[in-house]
């Protein structure tokens, strides 16, 4: 493909920061694109009194596309104040550079795609298309009503204030402008698979201009019979856009209404840090994130660069690099959904450059680890009447299959609650497992809740019903009509046999999330879960392995500092879990990279002095089969505690004592200072471990340390 020329206009504020962070993606994708840089924005105004210098127009003329970082616009008085001194007071007028670009290049359509990336609510995919050249932003804005139109106006407030003390803005709509806007909207809907075009206006108030626009819309829509279209009041649109964005496809609006709705669509998407935009028309298209220059954030390296990445993706689509554009979109979505460290707007503390590096790394290494969430259903689980063993078993099962379990949720036997829980995760994870509420009783609402959440009807499955009847007969159970509920499934679901019971599980995929629904009884859940994975290939992520260390006698802070120093490539992926008296450290990472291999080895070597096991077992568990072993202590109470460890009192003798004595500590209840644990093996030097004397559970520390000393001396 011929090399494409792209002009980069970093602009003001955080514009340069997000450009610098995101543009290396073009190198990572190895695209035939030549970059050129130009100036635009507030600094140009302060130097020359022109926000778009002629040199920049010349560069635009020889470019295939323009990528804009961000620009600053200020009020009239501030603009005048910051002009070069020789231009102040000369009537020099500030004109927004984006308005200049749109008008001079004939870019009449501003497109802001908005789609589900993360969060709660049903997945959606829509776009707001805003007219750029007319409407309330056409430039007919006056302080003091012009004499030419005074005769058209009659208003009691004007009578009280006078024409000179009034201001007016005119909304311009032309047949030419509306026709090309509506045609663009319908063509966009066809190209991107949207089934509905909605015109957001206020025809019940702006009655004549609204009726005029409707006439033009009807004439254009007649050429696209396959696309549904309607007109909605803009205020109602704002409500439904915020609460049910999945209802919409393409939303088209005049300039100001489109400006407001497109920012709202960005908020629904997850915030302006995610919102990209494109400007199309007669001349060279330009692309920009919509977050603005954010002067208060400039220089802090904290802005979310995702909107710039997604704007680059729109630009690549325009230039014909559709596959590369999709790689960027997937990488951004995967990073936002699965990264443990995001920028401040997502509750993290990653810098602009750090998040950008994660996105580019996901593209270069195709890192798309599968994610999962688990919902267990049952009022008895919420009430604590039963241990939630299903949650633990499902989680361990999925971890073994290579999934990262992102969230657990326990839900009551209420359709609305289950529906809400399912909606939270569909589209946000690769796999959602729902366990509980499948059976012939009144609380069997899970199947209906899942169907409702996925906007699917339930259907009776005759084959499943015959299977249920046969199973019940084999168990000598009477078949009742109410049992038929177990043969209803969401439309399109695949049923899963239950070898341990009657109620079948089922699975289906919506919005790139597989929903797997299992019975609640543990044996039945386990049987259906295993059956669901029986005939599929392992989902374990290629080249990703889990590394773990069970440590004794060291704090989380000490190990965290050590790992951040020795292994920066994996430090943020490391997990720390206290299971007294052990610190469990683990990391699931791609250990095919030479750098990672080297750093993992450095960590392993440095942790050797504290490592009890690499397989998750406690020291006392590892000596369970030992019989020829004797534990002794000068402290009678401590010796009694040691008898809980494996050993028949015959064989090698290990002497264990503490300073102060455990018996004194327990009798006085004085938990303060440090406890020294001394272990003397039959041969060799005594080993000593000092630990904080916090509570009576230090006895567990003593037993585990003693067991560890036996293991290391025997080895």
Asked if 539 and 405 count as a contact pair (C-beta separation under 8 A), the reply is no
Name the nearest CA neighbour of 635 among 674, 676, 584.
676
What is the reported pLDDT for 116?
86
pLDDT along the chain (715 residues), means of 10: 90 93 94 94 85 94 95 80 76 82 92 85 90 88 92 92 93 95 95 93 92 96 94 94 92 94 91 92 93 87 95 95 91 87 90 93 76 92 88 92 89 92 88 89 82 92 87 79 85 90 90 91 93 68 71 90 89 82 85 81 92 90 85 93 88 92 90 91 87 86 92 78
What is d(CA 573, CA 585) in angstroms, rounded to the nearest whole number?
Answer: 11
DSSP E strands, 485-574: 488-490, 494-496, 505-510, 513-518, 544-551
Domains by residue range for the chain, with CATH: 1-119+270-366 (3.40.718.10), 371-534 (3.40.980.10), 544-617 (3.30.70.2860), 623-714 (no CATH)
| CA–CA distance, 253 with 129 (Å, rounded to integer) | 7
- Please give the helix or strand (H or E) that residue 149 lies within, else none: helix 147-150
User: 50-55 long-range CB contacts below 8 Å, 24 or more apart?
Assistant: 51/94, 51/95, 51/96, 51/97, 51/100, 52/97, 52/100, 52/101
State the DSSP string of 291-344. S---GGGTTSS-S--HHHHHHHHHHHHHHT-HHHHHHHHHHHHHHHHH-S---G
DSSP label of 278? E
DSSP run (H or E) holding 246: none
R_g (Cα) of the chain, nearest Å: 33
Closest of 669, 709, 663 to residue 686, by C-alpha:
709
Per the structure block, which two tokens stand in for 14?
Answer: 């955080």
d(CA 162, CA 404): 68
Six token digits for residue 95? 């004109």
- Tokens representing 620 are 């006392």
Structure tokens at 334: 């995967």
Please name which of 715, 29, 671 lies closest in space to residue 321, comparing C-alpha atoms: 29
195 DSSP 8-state letter: -
**413 close to 443: Cβ distance less than 8 angstroms:** yes
541/404 Cα distance (integer angstroms): 10
Cα gap 657→638, rounded to integer Å: 8
Q: Is 489 exposed, middle or buried (0-12, 13-18, 19+ CB in 10 A)?
A: buried
Largest CA distance in the chain: 114
Please name every residue paired with 35 in a beta bridge, in sequence order, or none if there are none: 6
Measure Cα distances from 94 to 31, 69, 259, 293 in Å.
37, 20, 20, 17
User: Please, how many CA atoms are within 13 Å of residue 158, restricted to the half-sphere of its CB?
Assistant: 14
In angstroms, rounded to a whole number, what is the distance separating the alpha carbons of residues 259 and 110? 9
Quote the pLDDT of residue 470: 85
CB atoms within 10 A of CB 407: 14
Please enumerate in sequence order all residues whose Cβ is within 8 A of that of 69, keeping only pairs 6 or more positions apart, or say none: 8, 9, 10, 11, 12, 14, 15, 16, 18, 19, 288, 289, 308
Tokens standing for 531? Answer: 């059956």
- Alpha-carbon distances, residue 473 vs 466, 476, 484, 502 (angstroms): 11, 5, 14, 11
Q: Compute the distance between CA of residue 638 and CA of residue 661 in angstroms, rounded to an integer.
A: 8
pLDDT given for residue 83 in this prediction? 82
Strand duo 141-143 + 167-169: pairing: antiparallel
Closest by alpha carbon to 436, among 325, 518, 360?
518
List phi, psi (to 5°) of 61: -60, -30
**Cβ(439)–Cβ(519) below 8 Å:** yes
**Cα distance from N-terminal residue to C-terminal residue, the chain:** 64
Tokens of 234: 């803009």
Sign of CA dihedral 409, 410, 412, 415: positive
Contacts of 65 (CB under 8 A, 6+ apart): 4, 6, 7, 284, 285, 286, 287, 315, 318, 319
Contacts by residues 350-354 (CB-CB < 8 Å, ≥ 24 positions apart): 351/301, 351/302, 352/14, 352/17, 352/18, 352/21, 352/301, 352/302, 352/303, 352/304, 352/305, 353/20, 353/21, 353/301
DSSP 28-87: HTT--EEEEE---SHHHHHHHS-SS-HHHHHHHHT-SEEEEEE-----HHHHHHTS-GGG
């Amino acid at each position: 493909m011929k090399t494409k020329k792209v002009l980069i206009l970093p602009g003001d504020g955080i514009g340069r920061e997000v450009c610098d962070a995101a543009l290396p993606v073009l190198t990572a994708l190895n695209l035939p694109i030549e970059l050129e840089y130009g100036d635009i924005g507030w600094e140009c105004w302060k130097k020359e009194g022109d926000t778009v210098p002629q040199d920049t127009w010349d560069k635009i003329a020889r470019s295939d596309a323009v990528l804009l970082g961000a620009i600053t616009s200020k009020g009239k008085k501030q603009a005048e104040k910051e002009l070069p001194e020789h231009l102040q007071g000369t009537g020099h007028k500030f004109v927004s550079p984006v308005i200049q670009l749109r008008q001079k290049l004939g870019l009449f359509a501003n497109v802001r795609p908005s789609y589900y990336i993360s969060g709660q609510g049903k997945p959606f995919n829509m776009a707001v298309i805003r007219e750029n050249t007319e409407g309330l932003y056409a430039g007919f804005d006056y302080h003091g009503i012009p004499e030419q139109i005074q005769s058209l106006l009659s208003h009691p407030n004007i009578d009280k204030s006078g024409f000179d003390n009034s201001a007016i803005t005119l909304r311009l709509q032309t047949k030419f402008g509306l026709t090309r806007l509506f045609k663009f909207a319908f063509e966009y809907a066809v190209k991107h698979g949207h089934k509905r075009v909605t015109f957001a206006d206020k025809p019940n108030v702006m009655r004549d201009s609204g009726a005029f626009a409707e006439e033009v819309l009807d004439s254009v829509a007649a050429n696209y019979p396959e696309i549904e279209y309607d007109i909605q009041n803009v205020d109602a649109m704002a409500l439904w856009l915020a609460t049910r964005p999945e209802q919409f496809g393409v939303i088209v609006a005049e300039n100001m209404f489109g400006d407001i709705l497109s920012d709202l669509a960005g908020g629904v998407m997850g915030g302006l840090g995610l919102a990209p935009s494109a400007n199309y028309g007669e001349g060279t298209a330009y692309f920009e994130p919509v977050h603005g220059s954010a002067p208060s954030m400039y220089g802090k390296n904290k802005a979310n660069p995702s909107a710039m990445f997604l704007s680059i993706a729109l630009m690549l689509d325009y230039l014909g690099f559709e596959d590369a554009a999709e790689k960027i979109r997937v990488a951004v979505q995967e990073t936002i959904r699965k990264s443990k460290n995001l920028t401040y707007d997502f509750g993290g503390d990653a810098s602009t450059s750090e998040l950008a590096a994660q996105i580019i790394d996901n593209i270069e290494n195709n890192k798309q680890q599968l994610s999962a969430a688990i919902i267990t259903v049952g009022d008895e689980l919420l009430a604590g009447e039963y241990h939630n063993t299903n949650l633990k078993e499902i989680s361990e099962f999925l971890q073994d299959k290579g999934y990262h379990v992102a969230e657990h949720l326990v839900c009551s036997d209420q359709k609305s609650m289950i529906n809400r829980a399912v909606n939270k995760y569909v589209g946000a994870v690769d796999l959602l497992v729902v366990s509980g509420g499948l059976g012939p009783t009144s609380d069997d609402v899970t199947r209906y809740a899942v169907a409702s959440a996925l906007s699917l009807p339930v259907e009776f499955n005759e084959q499943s019903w015959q299977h249920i009847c046969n199973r019940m007969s084999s168990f000598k159970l009477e078949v009742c009509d109410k049992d038929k509920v177990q043969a209803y499934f969401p439309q399109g679901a695949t049923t899963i046999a239950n070898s341990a019971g009657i109620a079948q599980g089922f699975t289906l995929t919506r919005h790139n999330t597989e929903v797997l629904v299992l019975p609640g009884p543990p044996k039945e859940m386990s049987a259906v879960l295993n059956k669901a994975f029986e005939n599929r290939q392992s989902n374990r992520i290629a080249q990703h392995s889990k590394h773990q260390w069970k440590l004794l006698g060291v704090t989380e802070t000490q190990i965290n500092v050590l790992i951040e120093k020795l292994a920066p490539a994996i430090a943020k992926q490391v997990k720390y879990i206290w299971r007294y008296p052990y610190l469990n450290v683990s990391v699931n990472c791609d250990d095919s990279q030479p750098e990672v291999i080297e750093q993992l080895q450095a960590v392993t070597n440095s942790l050797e002095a504290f490592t009890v096991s690499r397989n998750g077992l406690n020291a006392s568990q590892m000596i369970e089969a030992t019989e020829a072993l004797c534990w002794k202590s000068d402290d009678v109470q401590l010796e009694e505690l040691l008898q809980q460890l494996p050993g028949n009192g015959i064989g090698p003798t290990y002497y264990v004592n503490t300073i102060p004595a455990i018996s004194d500590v327990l009798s006085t209840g004085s938990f303060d200072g440090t406890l020294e644990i001394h272990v003397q093996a039959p041969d060799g030097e005594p080993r000593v471990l000092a630990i904080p004397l916090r509570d009576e559970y230090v006895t567990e520390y003593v037993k585990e340390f003693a067991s560890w000393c036996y293991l290391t001396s025997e080895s």
